[in-house]
Chains A and B, each alone.
Chain A
Amino acid sequence: MSGATVAAPIEDRAGTLAGRFRGWLANPWARPRFLVILTWAYMVWSIVPVAFAILMSFNSGRSTVAFQGFSFYWWWQDPDAAVFTNPDFVNAIVQSLKLAAGDMLIATPIGVALALGLARWRGRGRGSANFLMLFPLVTPEIVMGTALFLVFSNLYESISLGTPAQLLGHVTFSISYVVIVVRGRLFAIGREYEEAAMDLGASPFGALRRVLFPLLGPAIFASAMIVFAISIDDFVISTFLLGGQESNTVPVLIYQQARGGPRPSLNGVATLMLVGSMIAIALALIVTSRFAKRREAGRASAVEDFARFEL
């Protein structure tokens, strides 16, 4: 950091407002004022529409366009069109949560095992397995959705479209995320702890269970939360593997109703899911950052880790 001050232009240190203004006139690009404005404008643009949509779910009128007053009417008071009283909405919420929970329970263990296998096994086949794992991340969802739709309707016909196919599809795109998160942590831990445990007489499984898994715990938890969030947010795979109205998830419902004169309760359902995935991600952040603080002083914060999270 010591070098940063060297490169900083002198105008930066002009204390007075007038001095700053003169400096800016002389060289408006010296300090990133333009960048500050652009960045915050971008942030406002990126957040405000969603914030407005959330606000609309608390509208007392039936419009999703103009706010007429705050109320919970469209959350539970309307007898059959509110978030918690409309059977289609309730069904979609339940379906989304069911898929997300199932996805989390299946994809996390498979992904953790795959991450361990890929990180530790040397030699033949590893490169191809690694490639196979990365592929779902770069495949456009429409291609994966088509592939899964066709395979379930033509080959794996015993698995019916709807919940079973949707669950298998969600797990398929989730596994790779778990691998990426857990593998990053595995690299950071290194092999020394395990080797030390085995040198001291632990069996390979003992070393895994008593040394590596506790160290990996936060990453495993974070990956489970990420799976939960991406499953809740998924639209394409859920739509392509739809079995009928009863397997609608919340994003599918939004897609079907957004243009048909939606009522505030649709915004409410969307808000509910947003809260769900935000809680999951916040939990992942909190757990990983606590862990980082405890173990490695001076390590970048978990938020920065998340920001650097690459596929």
Chain B
Amino acid sequence: MSEQAKGVGLPGWFWQAFAAPGVIWLLLLFIVPFFAILAISMGTRDPIFLAPVPIWNPLDWNTETFTGVVREILFGGPHQVVFIRTLAYVGVASVLSLVIGYPVAYYIARHAHRTKMILLILLIAPWWISYLMRMLAWVNLLEDRGLVNSLLQKIGLIGGPINWLNGRPSTVVLGLVYGYIPFLILPLYAAIDRIDQSMMEASRDLGASPARTFVRVTLPLSRQGILAASVIILLPMFGDYYTQDLLSANPRTSMFANAISRLLFSRTGGAEGSSMVIFLSLFLVILMFYYLVSTARAAREYER
């Protein structure tokens, strides 16, 4: 932006005044609530009902519950089992999403010419279908007498119906993939679409095979997109409890966020639940900052 564009005779506070309502809203309903998590986690208990009571002054905070939760996650205990399981499910689900998602995004960005529009619409559609509806769809399909079981029985792969919806890690992981892959493919598509076609052409012209061009040129150039798209789905997956509740609802497949929601809405578990939320936020904060910084950089470049 040029220097002269700055002025045009406007008072300095003119544009800030526009931002004010939004900034105040987010301070009161985003930052302060964050602080409430800390106040509950580091608070005390009601002596009679044992319900958590917040302490708003950081100087009086009592970190016992929080350190207890962290110790239990890091050094053994039921929370650790659940946390490792969550890491495994989320890890497998995001790798699967990438393995399926990258080729699809690549094809649509690079090779789909006449069908590009319809494919893009089909890609966008799941963004705007409620996640819960999409899980409900799988509950319908996976019921004992559902379509999946009857198809598998018809072609003779299984003798009797399989109970898909009770304590099966594979069902939960596939549910996560199904749920979050649309949010991965679209940013991947955007990243691959942005790559300058002439790079690939140069590589081909200089004698590289298609496979080599892909590995040495396309893939490195889409690294940023792969990272950003993975972060986009990793963040909500770690906070997901409803997929497990709808597709399994069994303690054997219970995830970290299941424990959070159970504790938070119990009469006495508020402090422990909040401590787990703080732990999860600290765990995810690196991913969040990576994403924020890279989008801020992209926005600055765009603005220029």
Residue ranges of A at the interface with B (Cβ–Cβ < 8 Å): 3-4, 6-7, 9, 29-30, 32, 34-36, 38-39, 42-43, 45-47, 49-50, 52-53, 56, 63-66, 110-111, 113-114, 116-118, 120-123, 125, 129-136, 138-144, 146-151, 154-155, 168-169, 171-172, 175, 179, 183, 187, 191, 195, 198, 204, 229, 232-233, 235-236, 250-251, 254-255, 258-259, 262, 266-267, 270-271, 273-274, 277-278, 280-281, 301, 303-304, 306-311
Instruction: Report which of A168, A233, A250, A267 forms a contact with B128, defined as CB distance below 8 A.
Output: A233
Our pick among A117, A139, A146 for the contact of B18 (Cβ within 8 Å) is A117
Given known contacts A45-B178, A122-B6, A310-B295, what 12 new A-B pairs fall within 8 Å (CB)?
Answer: A7-B200, A32-B107, A34-B103, A35-B106, A110-B22, A117-B18, A175-B22, A204-B10, A254-B130, A273-B130, A273-B133, A277-B129
CB contacts (< 8 Å) of B261 on chain A: these are 142
> Does B158 sit at the interface, judged by CB under 8 A?
no
Task: List the A residue with the shortest CB-CB distance to B166.
Answer: A259
Known contacts A29-B211, A155-B36; decide if A132 and B5 are in contact (CB<8 Å).
no
Contact of B130 among A204, A232, A262, A307 (CB under 8 A): A232
Which residues of B have CB within 8 Å of A308?
190, 193
User: Within 8 Å of chain A (Cβ to Cβ): is B140?
Assistant: yes
Residues of the B chain whose Cβ atoms lie less than 8 Å from the Cβ of A123: 12
Query: Cβ of B128 and Cβ of A53 under 8 Å apart?
Result: no
Interface digits, B198-211 against A, CB 8 Å rule (1 contact, 0 not)? 10110011000011
For residue A281, which residue of chain B has the nearest CB?
Answer: B128
Considering only residues 226-261 of chain B, those with a C-beta below 8 Å from chain A are: 231-232, 235-236, 238-242, 245-246, 249, 257, 260-261
How far apart are A193's CB and chain B's nearest CB, in angstroms? 12
Of the 9-residue stretches B59-67, B68-76, B77-85, B274-282, which lies at the interface with chain A?
Answer: B274-282
In the complex, the chain A residue whose C-beta lies closest to that of B17 is A117
Q: Which residue of A lies closest to B111 (CB)?
A: A32
Contact B25 A255 (CB under 8 A): no
Q: Please indicate the chain B residues that have their CB under 8 angstroms from the CB of A118 in the complex.
A: 19
Are the CB atoms of B190 and A307 closer together than 8 Å? Answer: yes
B104 and A121 contact, CB distance less than 8 A:
no
B128 touches A125 (CB 8 A): no
Interface of A (DSSP majority class): helix
Using a Cβ–Cβ cut-off of 8 Å, how many residues does chain B contribute to the interface with A?
Answer: 118
Q: Is there a chain A Cβ closer than 8 Å to B221's Cβ?
A: no
Contacts of A135 in B (CB 8 A): 26, 30, 288, 292
The answer to whether A30 and B1 touch across the interface, beta carbons within 8 angstroms, is no
> Within the assembled complex, what's the spacing in Å between the Cα atoms of A270 and B241?
20
Report how far A46 CA is from B32 CA in the complex, Å: 39
Any chain A CB within 8 A of the CB of B264? Answer: yes
Would you call B296 and A146 a contact (CB within 8 A)?
no
Q: When the two chains form the complex, which single residue of B39, B132, B146, B273 contacts A270, counting CB atoms closer than 8 Å? A: B132
Cβ contacts A to B, 18 pairs, < 8 Å:
A6-B204, A43-B122, A50-B133, A116-B19, A117-B15, A131-B292, A132-B23, A135-B288, A136-B30, A139-B288, A141-B239, A150-B33, A151-B33, A235-B242, A251-B130, A274-B129, A277-B130, A307-B123
Whether A110 contacts B21 by the Cβ 8 Å rule is: yes
A38's contact among B19, B103, B112, B137, by CB below 8 Å, is which?
B103
Could you tell me the distance in whole angstroms from the C-beta of B191 to the nearest C-beta in chain A? 9
Chain B residues positioned under 8 Å from A271 (CB to CB): 133
CB pair B133 A303 closer than 8 Å: no
User: Residue B145 at the A interface, CB < 8 A?
Assistant: yes
User: Cα distance A39–B132 when bound, in Å?
Assistant: 24
